[in-house]
């Protein structure tokens, strides 16, 4: 009669022990879950901040690249405009030289030997224009006609009047609406003409 009672007491004690352990385990699991959630939230927050920093850097690089591209495009446009102006000045200088050559060839006496030497005249833009200048040499003084050909200085009286006033090539070009290269070419040919006459 006493044995069944002991079994009942032991069974009750086991049930009470199990019941006491189970809430403790549940509390541990709940704490672990809370810690895990907090860790994940912190990780997600850090990842979000890093993404924002990366996006800010990418946006800044994009702006810098756009600025560099615009600056390069502006420089390219300026170079193209400068090249176009230099080509236009070269064309005007060649036209002026061709006109002077035609005028001088018409006025050349018979028996005159003409030789051409290459000369380079610097234009105001820094570019150089390769032109041909005339070197006129008479074979014999007896073969020259009685008529004296018109000199370059007399053909460009207004230009040389400004030269006599002490004005620079650029000032003369601006006042006469000519290119600086043309003014330099005319002055150089006039100087050579004067040297030949001496």
pTM of the model: 0.35
Q: How confident is the model over 103-143, as pLDDT tens digits? A: 777 755 443 343 333 344 444 444 444 443 444 334 434 44
**pLDDT at residue number 15:** 72
Tokens, residue 127: 């570019």
**pLDDT at residue number 118:** 38
53 pLDDT more than 80: yes
Torsion of CA 53, 57, 63, 67, to 10 degrees: 150
Rg (CA), the chain: 49
Supply the mean pLDDT for the chain.
71
**pLDDT at residue number 22:** 58
6 pLDDT more than 50: yes
**pLDDT at residue number 127:** 44
Token pair 């007896």: residue: 142
**pLDDT at residue number 115:** 39
Q: How confident is the model over 74-95, as pLDDT tens digits? A: 888 888 888 888 788 878 778 8
Query: Within 10 A of 86 (CB to CB), how many other CB atoms are there?
Result: 18
Name the DSSP class of 105.
H
Name the DSSP class of 165.
T
Which of 8-12, 13-17, 56-60, 147-151 is the least confident region? 147-151
CA dist 50 and 56 (Å) reads: 10
């Amino acid at each position: 009669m006493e044995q069944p009672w002991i079994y009942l007491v032991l069974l009750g004690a086991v049930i009470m022990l199990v019941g006491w352990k189970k809430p403790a385990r549940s509390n541990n699991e709940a704490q672990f879950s809370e810690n895990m959630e907090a860790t994940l939230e912190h990780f997600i927050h850090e990842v979000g901040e890093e993404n924002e920093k990366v996006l800010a850097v990418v946006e800044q690089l994009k702006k810098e690249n756009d600025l560099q591209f615009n600056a390069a495009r502006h420089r390219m446009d300026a170079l193209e405009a400068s090249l176009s102006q230099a080509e236009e000045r070269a064309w005007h200088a060649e036209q002026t030289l061709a006109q002077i050559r035609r005028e001088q060839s018409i006025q050349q006496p018979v028996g005159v030997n003409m030789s051409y030497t290459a000369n380079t005249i610097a234009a105001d833009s820094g570019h150089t224009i390769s032109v041909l200048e005339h070197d006129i040499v008479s074979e014999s003084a007896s073969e020259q006609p009685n008529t004296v050909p018109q000199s370059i200085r007399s053909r460009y009286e207004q230009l040389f009047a400004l030269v006599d006033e002490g004005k620079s090539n650029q000032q003369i070009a601006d006042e006469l609406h000519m290119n600086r290269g043309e003014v330099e070419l005319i002055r150089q040919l006039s100087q050579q003409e004067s040297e030949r006459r001496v």
